[in-house]
Structure 1
């Protein structure tokens, strides 16, 4: 008969298995944290990232309060990321940021969170939840660690994620516009102009606002959208289309300073 005695041991102690075979005791030594960590490194260096992540997780499980556990946690996040196990990478990296927000590797952990979401951004026709989460994670990286070596890349990829989100709004807005659901369409294009003004979609959004407002008979709003488009993007094909649309009714672009669009544009561009 074998009995396993579970006892809380201090770090560096051993686990002991008592056996009555020949009245002898068998002692099984717990593998040292450093040994487990180095085994994980060897596995990661050989490209066996799943096995490496498991080895690093073992360090934290068996030596939870050691310095090796801290190192193993960030390496677990890295190994899972390289293995494309993004959910696991995010969990490990988030745990690291929570436990060690002031450490040298905290910025890298936040970067891994953002990169894991970014790697999962789907095409524009699908739900953009991961794009939103990537944008949030990159913004958090820039807010918490603005001087980190990952900041420049974070800014670039944040804009890509934002562009994706704006593209989704445009897709839905165009659908509503085509269905004659002008108010629903306006709400989508308004989001692009208000929240994603630095993306490449803003020019088309201003044209679509011109079209939707004109279709509703709200000529002043249509003129305002076209005027802002023409003032900021005078050589744009979208502006030419908006100008031509207004001309069919004998109108021309003319900005109404009291329009919500004019106020939003001036506020977001700092021209108030």
Structure 2
């Protein structure tokens, strides 16, 4: 008996699947929206978001202004989200919020919409337009719904994106410094970029290295300056050293920083000697 059932079970599953497909295809061709609504809801509840999405797309325009329209639009957006089509999910959740601003589903829609843009955020090395949009959405959610069950997750996502933007800004300054080893203009861009980074991200995990790189770039600028500008720029580089050591007395860059300071001090003495002989 058991062996018979073992052979029959796969056959029954195939029959059920074909019956389900047949029902789905039949409902797709229906003119009446009610069967489509019922089946779309059933498929959504079963986790079949691919087929539920197709039905919700068909019936959504027909339910505009009707009591069921709110549910249809939300499940349409959420089906996109569950299918990981985050571009469409973000767009549809925004539409839902605008169409039903008083719905009790608005907080969840706001969170899922923000999370959609979070998922679209690219690697730190690429353009961060989507990251900026996600941060705006997440911050809006955090400010508006501090008691939401999604608050902690939204905070974590916002922190992750902020760190990504920090790294992007830091890597720009770092790259300028690397490229500017023998190029005065690029070194000047490195100093400006690192200055902006330190100012814009005071609590960044990259701050210590940024301050050291600013010292490195400032020293390179000073040593490659015209004599008339050298002393002022050497003093600027010396100040960059002072700031690094003040904020990070036990900095991991101590040895490198001290070597740069020696070069700065030596060049300052030479510059003073040249000025004195004139």
Same-fold call, TM > 0.5? Answer: yes
Question: Could you say if the C-alpha distance between residues 215 and 95 of structure 1 is closer, same or farther in structure 2, counting changes exceeding 3 Å?
Answer: same
Conserved 8 A contact 2:80-2:88: yes
SS at match of 2:68: helix
Look at both structures and tell me which one has the larger radius of gyration over its CA atoms.
Answer: 2
The corresponding residue for 2:179 is: 179
Aligned-pair distance for 1:110? Answer: 1.9
Question: Could you say if the C-alpha distance between residues 203 and 99 of structure 1 is closer, same or farther in structure 2, counting changes exceeding 3 Å?
Answer: farther
1:94-173 matches, within 5 Å, as 94-173=94-173
For residues 28-57 of structure 1, what are the alpha-carbon distances to aligned partners after superposition, in whole Å with 9 as ceiling and x for unaligned? 86323xx54442232223332232223233
Conserved 8 A contact 2:237-2:264: no
SS at match of 1:179: helix
Conserved 8 A contact 1:163-1:201: no
Q: Larger strand proportion, structure 1 or 2?
A: 1
Structure 1: state its 5+ residue gaps.
1-27, 252-272
The corresponding residue for 1:211 is: 216
1:198-237 matches, within 5 Å, as 198-217=203-222, 218-237=233-252
The corresponding residue for 2:89 is: 89
Find the aligned partners of 1:164 and 1:146 in 2 and give their Cα distance. Answer: 24
TM-score (norm 2): 0.69
Question: Could you say if the C-alpha distance between residues 248 and 89 of structure 1 is closer, same or farther in structure 2, counting changes exceeding 3 Å?
Answer: same
Find the aligned partners of 2:146 and 2:153 in 1 and give their Cα distance. Answer: 11
Aligned-pair distance for 1:235? Answer: 3.9
TM-score (norm 1): 0.71
Aligned-pair distance for 1:243? Answer: 4.6
Conserved 8 A contact 1:176-1:185: yes
Report which stretch shifted further, 165-174 or 51-60. 51-60
For residues 201-236 of structure 1, what are the alpha-carbon distances to aligned partners after superposition, in whole Å with 9 as ceiling and x for unaligned? 222222222222222223444444444444444444
For residues 137-165 of structure 1, what are the alpha-carbon distances to aligned partners after superposition, in whole Å with 9 as ceiling and x for unaligned? 21121222233222221121111111111
Aligned-pair distance for 1:125? Answer: 2.6
Q: Larger helix proportion, structure 1 or 2?
A: 2
Aligned-pair distance for 1:83? Answer: 0.8
SS at match of 2:217: helix
Find the aligned partners of 1:136 and 1:212 in 2 and give their Cα distance. Answer: 34
1:30 aligns with 2:32: yes
Conserved 8 A contact 1:229-1:239: no
Find the aligned partners of 2:195 and 2:37 in 1 and give their Cα distance. Answer: 52
Find the aligned partners of 2:178 and 2:264 in 1 and give their Cα distance. Answer: 21
Aligned-pair distance for 1:94? Answer: 0.9
Find the aligned partners of 2:106 and 2:95 in 1 and give their Cα distance. Answer: 10
Count of residue pairs brought into register by the alignment:
222
Question: Could you say if the C-alpha distance between residues 86 and 65 of structure 1 is closer, same or farther in structure 2, counting changes exceeding 3 Å?
Answer: same
Root-mean-square deviation over aligned CA pairs = 2.6
Structure 2: state its 5+ residue gaps.
1-29, 181-185, 223-232, 267-278
For residues 63-99 of structure 1, what are the alpha-carbon distances to aligned partners after superposition, in whole Å with 9 as ceiling and x for unaligned? 1112321122222222111111111101101112222
